[in-house]
Chain A
């Protein structure tokens, strides 16, 4: 079973093509909207929107918000909200920046450029993020203060704790290995990207076959073989296509020449090298897989959705809903730390205003991705797609040259409309 929260027809005997594929129709709708959006922008930008370069940039710009949005799904599913994620990101970014530049880089400790710096800084950041998240979760779960209030307070507190940690200064430049988490500064290169893509395809197909076998062994109805093959083919094409696009974005000639010069070699004539998959995207993929597994295959995830659907029932079933709240907010804090690493690494510095308004982007991404504020419903992949749609809208409009105030008007309107469409959809399908 893969549908704790997914609407959509599950009738295996359906005659209709899409019904036989048993895909989440809501997801299809979102992907459809995303494709239309991309095509429209592509027309208005004279084909500049759907270039490997822009797709690469869109991807790395989305990562930070998308990582946090996966955690926001759990928060919103349990009928809470977290308004503090942007500020928490700033505090954690400040901690990681100070740890690596002021403490670890000190000659008496590890020294500038030591290879272990980035790991220690990241672990310190995750520790701080989880601790702050757990503390907020404790206030919500055990003291009974509404999440809205606790995290509204957190929004003000953590933004300014960050300010104190850095004395209001921009901290940097960050450790070179650390900045590889940021995006364009750290990519896998073409061959490794293809290997990663092929492994991902193998994994996806293995999971698909395994699920079918398990269902068959229990004697449950399974999809027709052609439907399985179609889904497998779509997955394969999507993954390899994505890798192909990222590989097709070539490192600019001048930069490549400088890289060769730095290595003391001369660049062969006509050589092109693609960037490949950025490490930040690998991180997002790992987070997405881990969070999806948590949501669907662990007791924690089951309890999160049960509590969101009916808190009283969850409690009567012996679920410790208070401690569950602590866990959820701790996860959110940990994800804020990962997002902080990506965001500050991308800038190469930790600034005071890092992550400003991210709480709204993250909540919007989760909601556009189908997470219901009433609780109990939401998917990880939906939130990531929501983040991607938000980012595409924003950078697409910037490329077209839409005035800045109008951009925000459009984004705000889209958020409200997306929720309206969702409500109408749920009414129609009776979900």
Chain B
């Protein structure tokens, strides 16, 4: 393929001496879903928060469409059409769906005032597409169910024509039906040429949705592989033992021979 949509090269970040992300390099192509896997605390979320502007990397290089970019804040990330759906959803519970969807990017009237009616109309449109059962447009989002809240968070990421989408555990709080909905959405977005980083603990989801996987352990990259080249057990071995199977490209965190590192 041509230039990757996103290239993160040699990313490092540490918090008080702990190397949360240690020389990790990953990339993402248009129309591709890359699953980021690993234990809790492996550094997946931290890596992704560097890309979304929540954290600033100590060193490393981020390239979007081959050009180096500097992302210092969530605003910078949004300017690069990077949208993130956080595990915590990052919704202001006291505001309604429309206010959350447009938070930080409010539609305003010519006089500069917030145009709530227009935002509500837009919210009704996109929700009609994503979750037709959604009716509570005036309630604060804390009054919504887990799935409804999730659809608000997803709508926020999708509405602004993201090119790169980061989904941190998008199905963790969802029922079967809603999980299916998210899966269909991911397929649709893929077709539109978006690149998606998907963080998940669910191996089944990962094999169903992802084209490639990247596995992290203790802040280091164990390896990357096409989902067609590896099995469930291979992936579990990567996550648990840091063992890189044949068919995968080993990273700096992969076990060398059979000696256990650290």
Contacts and interface: CB of A to CB of B under 8 A. Distances in A.
Interface in A291-331: 293, 296-299, 301-303, 305-310, 312-319
A308 B98 CA distance: 17
Interface of B is mostly: loop
Contacts of B92: 305-307, 309-310, 313-314, 376
B113 A297 contact: yes
Contacts, number: 103
A2 B99 CA distance: 12
A376 B94 contact: yes
Contacts of B91: 310, 313
B173 to A, nearest CB: 16
B143 interface: yes
A215 B120 CA distance: 10
Contacts of A214: 117
A377 interface: yes
A1 interface: yes
A212 to B, nearest CB: 11
B108 A299 contact: yes
B29 to A, nearest CB: 26
B52 A5 contact: no
B113 A298 contact: yes
A218 B123 CA distance: 12
A309 B118 CA distance: 23
B86 interface: yes
Interface in A84-101: none
Given A318-B74, A318-B78, A376-B92, A1 B104 contact: no
B138 interface: yes
Contacts of A431: 140, 143
A108 interface: no
A3 interface: yes
A299 B52 CA distance: 22
B185 interface: no
A302 B93 contact: no
Contacts of A319: 103-104
A101 B26 CA distance: 70
A376 B86 CA distance: 21
B103 A306 contact: yes
A302 B78 contact: no
A238 B245 CA distance: 78
A306 B95 contact: yes
Contact of B117 (A1, A310, A376): A1
Nearest to A216: B117
Contacts of A299: 106, 108, 114
Interface residues of A, number: 37
A220 interface: yes
Interface string B67-78: 000000111001
A4 B90 contact: no
A317 B113 contact: no
Contact of A1 (B89, B103, B116): B116
Given A215-B117, A298-B113, A302-B114, A4 B94 contact: yes
A155 B74 CA distance: 36
A315 B77 CA distance: 13
A10 interface: yes
A2 B114 CA distance: 11
A23 to B, nearest CB: 14
Contact of B94 (A2, A312, A377): A377
- Most A Cβ at <10 Å: residue of B73, B96, B117: B117
Nearest to B139: A10
A313 B94 contact: no
A309 B99 CA distance: 12
A316 B114 contact: no
Given A1-B117, A316-B84, A309 B93 contact: yes
Contacts of B118: 218
A270 interface: no
A309 B94 contact: yes
Contact of B74 (A2, A301, A315): A315
Contacts of A296: 114
A215 B119 CA distance: 12
B90 A302 contact: no
B182 interface: no
- Most A Cβ at <10 Å: residue of B84, B94, B103, B140: B94
A316 B49 CA distance: 10
Interface in A120-176: none
B88 interface: yes
A264 interface: no
B95 to A, nearest CB: 6
Contacts of A313: 88-92, 103
A266 to B, nearest CB: 53
A307 to B, nearest CB: 8
A377 B95 CA distance: 10
19 contacts: A1-B116, A3-B138, A219-B121, A220-B121, A299-B108, A299-B114, A305-B99, A310-B91, A310-B94, A312-B88, A313-B91, A314-B92, A314-B103, A315-B74, A316-B90, A318-B78, A318-B105, A377-B94, A431-B143
Interface of B: 52-54, 73-75, 78, 84, 86, 88-96, 98-100, 103-106, 108, 112-114, 116-118, 120-121, 138-140, 143
Interface of A: 1-5, 10, 214-215, 218-220, 293, 296-299, 301-303, 305-310, 312-319, 376-377, 430-431
Q: Which 6 A-B pairs have the closest CB atoms?
A: A309-B94, A317-B104, A318-B75, A376-B94, A309-B92, A313-B90
Given A306-B95, A309-B92, 9 more contacts: A1-B98, A1-B120, A3-B138, A302-B99, A302-B114, A305-B95, A309-B140, A317-B104, A318-B53
